[in-house]
Chain A
Amino acid sequence: MYSRAYKAAVAIPPIVWVTAFLLVPYAILFCYSFWSVSSIQTIVHHWNLQNYLELARNSLYRDVLFRSMRIAAAVTCFALLLGYPLAYYLSFHATTRKDLLYQLVIIPLWASYLVRGYAWKTILGTDGVLNGVLRFTHATDLLLAIQNSVNLHLAASHQITLVPLPFLLYSPFAVVLVLTHIYTPFVILPIYASLEHIPRNLVEASHDLGSSPWSTFRRVILPLSLPGVIAGATFAFVLTLGDFLAPLLVGGSSGIMISNIVVGLFGAAYNWPLGAAIAFFMMVIVMALLFTTERLEKRLKVS
């Protein structure tokens, strides 16, 4: 049995830490979201709901929020499509290469986010690596021809010769691509963990009872790995939704996400109250999401 003093000594530091560095700042932020900014750019401690009403009224915020969610959903889908097969291969079929492949999944996590963002910039840019390759192989002509045939009114404005693809960088496409690259490991790892937890004799039992490999995947492996899928999808969605670096680096004006707006409001725009309101609104969305997925995971998890 531990003494009262020991229990207190163990419990107090984290409580102090959480209070001082989490709860108090959040509380301050929460207060800010009900204040406003005066015409001479000072913060007025006058309690009102203006910021939340602005959030509901101004279509800019709504549009950016929906775009952020679309991007987050797209990143989640692509990360799952890329991550699940890799996690499955890693867990079930990579025999001797297992450790190496696992390291290859982990290693990008050691590299700085900024480095990876800038790397994508050099790949996707107008004079970047990707366009270079595409132009060298004349694939751009084909792609642009397809695009032009879709948008006939643009046909005249484009020369069909060795032009770079302009839409690679500074677009929602670039944001989705970069974030998919960055967050796929966060999807692979929980799925891999849940696949590793499936007793292999269940797979054998399924074959033994007459299920083909595909049917075994559908009826045994996939259902038992769903908690990992949900955890991974939650990671990808929540992390993407709050991301502001990728849109900053490769998003351009059409790739702006909600966090960029928050950053802007706390920075140049100097409207902390509105920024705080958006931040709080986002936090509520994310917490509702986490709450739901956690319950879902618990229900799917079978002992």
Chain B
Amino acid sequence: MTNSPARSVADVSETSNRALLSIRHVLKRFGPRPVLRGITLDVASGEFLTILGESGSGKTTLLRLIAGFERLDGGEILMDGARLDPIPAHQRQVNTVFQSYAIFPHLSVFENVAYGLRAKNAPKSEIPDRVTQALAMVKMSDFAQSAPSRLSGGQQQRVALARALVNRPRVLLLDEPLSALDANLRRQMQTELKSLQREVGITFIFVTHDQEEAMALSDRVALLRAGHLEQIAGPREIYGEPATAYAAEFIGQTNLLRADVRDGIASAGAIVWRTFGPPGKVTYSLRPECIRLVPTVDGLTSAPDVSTARFRATIRNQAFGGAMDMLELHCGNGARIRARITNPGPLHGDHEFEFHANDAVRVRETGED
């Protein structure tokens, strides 16, 4: 608990007056096992928030609490400042797109989409128009009278989206909706999902374990880890300034440098750079793409400027990756560094590498739990 992300929580509570959904100190246990250990976060109106985490992090449980499928063991959930958590699922202005779509097999596509409208006693005359509109929005107009069993996974996905959006919910919850689709369809649906969200302006809370998907879609990413909120920030911020070592490693690839900081100098083995932070043992995250090959002219290199760190390393492995190659470097005392270099050509032996000192980001070492 000592490593709870105090900074990000403080950031969020400043914005709470315009939050649509406020999750406050939420606790959830399954039997003796705690699944959520005090989650606090706010979701702004119209935001695309992704809850990211590996399996078992509690991300789906958090979603199910918002939907009303599970009961809280502590804390509260507010919508527009009013308590949401005591309200039964069927009375919440929240809709869910389920991971396995959960299309009613005994109803046609049209009736599936109309289900929520009929349940809420929408005027009978409105139903056909709204259903037709919703199906058009997800490009499924031609399938209105089809049986769900005749649809492919991607098509069922679209029906599930239409079925949820037709109710004009305040918040749309999406539980790993793309994980069952193949890679191409998945990318296509990501794009469509994002433009759909812009079009309808509904708040999306999207759960995924795929960090690339999270980065591509979201306004903000909430990273969960073992029931804790590790960090919540925009994709660029969470990638560029990860708060913790875990966040740095989970989102993208990184090198964790465990350095000694003394007199404004950080040293991690053979790698030394200038830093402004307080002294002590500090962990830094250095993204592989921040490392460059030092250019040589006739075997000589130019002198580095003060804010550039240089080190010498042996290339142990070079993986061709099209535009960028991934290099595995060994520098001196067994430290391994991964570097992503643009079009280096084949490399062998020892080379000089450099990075800008600001690219090494201080991160908190993550707790023992």
Residues of chain A whose beta carbon lies under 8 Å from any beta carbon of chain B = 199, 201-202, 204-213, 215-216, 219-220, 223-224, 300, 302-303
Interface centre among A204, A212, A213 (most CB of B within 10 A): A204
Write the B62-97 contact mask toward A (1 if CB under 8 angstroms, else 0). Answer: 000001110000000000000000001111001110
- In the complex, which residues of chain A have a beta carbon less than 8 angstroms from the beta carbon of B100? 199, 201
Interface centre among A209, A219, A223, A224 (most CB of B within 10 A): A209
- In the complex, which residues of chain B have a beta carbon less than 8 angstroms from the beta carbon of A199? 100, 102
B152 to nearest A CB, angstroms? 14
B105 engages A303 (CB within 8 Å): yes
B116 engages A209 (CB within 8 Å): yes
Q: How far is the CA of A300 from the CA of B105 in the complex (A)?
A: 11
A101 to nearest B CB, angstroms? 22
B115 to nearest A CB, angstroms? 5
Q: How far is the CA of A208 from the CA of B119 in the complex (A)?
A: 10
A202 engages B167 (CB within 8 Å): no
- In the complex, which residues of chain A have a beta carbon less than 8 angstroms from the beta carbon of B13? none
Picked from A207, A220, A224, A302, the residue with its CB within 8 Å of the CB of B89 is: A207
Q: How far is the CA of A201 from the CA of B68 in the complex (A)?
A: 13
- In the complex, which residues of chain A have a beta carbon less than 8 angstroms from the beta carbon of B116? 209-210
Write the B96-130 contact mask toward A (1 if CB under 8 angstroms, else 0). Answer: 10101010111000000001100110000000000
Known: A201-B98, A207-B88, A302-B149. A220 touches B104 (CB 8 A): yes
Known: A220-B104, A224-B105, A302-B105. A210 touches B167 (CB 8 A): yes
- In the complex, which residues of chain A have a beta carbon less than 8 angstroms from the beta carbon of B163? 209
Q: How far is the CA of A213 from the CA of B115 in the complex (A)?
A: 14
The dominant DSSP class at the A interface is: helix
Q: How far is the CA of A213 from the CA of B105 in the complex (A)?
A: 19
Q: How far is the CA of A210 from the CA of B92 in the complex (A)?
A: 8
A152 to nearest B CB, angstroms? 52
- In the complex, which residues of chain B have a beta carbon less than 8 angstroms from the beta carbon of A210? 90-91, 116, 119-120, 167
B102 engages A215 (CB within 8 Å): no
A224 engages B67 (CB within 8 Å): no
A224 engages B106 (CB within 8 Å): yes
Picked from A202, A300, A303, the residue with its CB within 8 Å of the CB of B104 is: A202
Q: Counting CB contacts under 8 A, is B147 at the interface?
A: yes
B167 engages A209 (CB within 8 Å): yes
Q: How far is the CA of A204 from the CA of B94 in the complex (A)?
A: 13
Contact sample, A vs B, 28 pairs, CB 8 Å cutoff: A199-B102, A201-B98, A201-B100, A201-B102, A204-B69, A204-B96, A204-B102, A205-B102, A205-B104, A206-B90, A206-B104, A206-B115, A207-B90, A208-B94, A209-B90, A209-B163, A210-B91, A210-B119, A210-B167, A212-B90, A212-B119, A215-B119, A216-B90, A219-B115, A220-B104, A302-B106, A302-B147, A303-B149
Picked from B95, B106, B147, the residue with its CB within 8 Å of the CB of A208 is: B95
New A-B contacts (6) at CB < 8 Å, excluding given A208-B67, A210-B116: A201-B98, A201-B102, A207-B68, A209-B167, A210-B91, A211-B115
Write the B162-174 contact mask toward A (1 if CB under 8 angstroms, else 0). Answer: 0110010000000
B132 to nearest A CB, angstroms? 18
Nearest-neighbor residue (CB-CB) of A208 within chain B: B96
A202 engages B119 (CB within 8 Å): no
Nearest-neighbor residue (CB-CB) of B69 within chain A: A204
Q: How far is the CA of A211 from the CA of B118 in the complex (A)?
A: 9
Picked from A207, A211, A216, A223, the residue with its CB within 8 Å of the CB of B106 is: A223
Q: How far is the CA of A215 from the CA of B119 in the complex (A)?
A: 8
Known: A210-B119, A215-B119. A202 touches B102 (CB 8 A): yes
- In the complex, which residues of chain A have a beta carbon less than 8 angstroms from the beta carbon of B68? 207-208
B363 to nearest A CB, angstroms? 38
